Amino acid sequence: MNPLTFAGATPSAVSTDPTLLPTWIGARATAAAVVVAIVAILLTYRQVRLTAVQLRHDSAQAAQDSEDRTRPYVTMNIVPSIASHGALDLILANTGATAATNVRFKLLGAGFGLSDDDTHVGPGLREFFATPFELAPGARMRLFWHLPESAAERSDKRGAMGAPVTGELQVTYGRDVGGRPGSHEYVTKHRYDFTLWPKITPEAWTGARNEGNSSDPLTHLKNIDFGLRAIAHHLGETTR
């Protein structure tokens, strides 16, 4: 064999064909483009998924905001009574935008006093609480709640009338949706303890009275003057 021939053949066997270089570069570019496309798809999917989650959250929040704006709100407040000293009244109100339907009240863990002898407050509250009713938006009701024991009461059983001074009141109610009762019910509880509260709560004063001769016109004029002074005083205090 001719050594020159062998030597000349060896470099040509290991040399790279220049015509294959563009193909190799194109394959690398295609692979890079595929990787970039996959990354872009993954990022797009992640963004779409996050957007969908945010939309669901916004939709749920909007629905909750709408519910909060349009639902009824039944409130309970126990205040000094306008009937007598030491007595308590229950004020019920619907401060929401829609009517509260199927309103039911319950006195938790206690009962109303004087079930046998009391023909005024206790039985009336029991009957009222046993009957569901409706409370329109802005409606307000004031009820007797507690009347302390009085020596003037004609009863064989002594004691306070109505609800106990300490207890917990629960109200359950719903609202109509499209003219039909809604599926959601609302429950509110109000715990109170007026063992000492009435003793430290200011009450309205009727004014002084002149103890002079009741048939004397001057006595009546003085009583009117005292009453007007009391009214002016109370009106002034309400602005503070």
Same domain, 123 and 227: no
Q: Does 222 lie in the same domain as 208?
A: yes
Do 189 and 225 have their domain in common? Answer: no
Amino acid identity for residue 105 in this structure = F
Compute how many other C-beta atoms are within 10 angstroms of the C-beta atom of residue 184. 10
Residues 146 and 210 in one domain: no
Whether 16 is in a domain gets the answer no
SS3 3: helix
HSE value, Cβ hemisphere, 13 Å, CA-based, for 178: 2
Q: How crowded is the C-beta side of 29, counted as CA atoms within 13 Å?
A: 6
**CA neighbor of 144 nearest in space, from 172, 114, 173, 174:** 114
125 and 139 together in one domain: yes
Residues in the chain: 240
Taking only the tens of pLDDT, the chain with its 240 residues reads 444 444 444 444 444 556 655 676 777 778 788 888 888 888 888 888 887 787 777 666 666 566 667 889 999 998 888 777 778 889 999 999 999 999 998 888 776 655 444 557 777 888 888 889 999 999 999 998 888 776 545 555 566 778 888 889 999 999 988 777 777 889 999 888 877 766 677 766 666 766 667 677 777 777 777 777 777 776 776 665
| 21 found inside a domain | no
In order of 32, 81, 140, 205, 212, the CA distances from 88 in angstroms are 82, 4, 16, 16, 34
User: Is the Cβ–Cβ distance between 93 and 145 less than 8 Å?
Assistant: no
- CA–CA distances in Å: residue 210 to residues 23, 205, 229, 230: 119, 15, 13, 14
CA dihedral 125, 126, 130, 135 (to 10 degrees): 10
Domain housing 212: 204-240
Task: Kindly state whether residue 121 falls inside one of the protein's structural domains.
Answer: yes
- The verdict on 181 and 214 lying in the same domain is no
Domain presence at residue 19: no
Q: Which two tokens stand for residue 76?
A: 């309970």
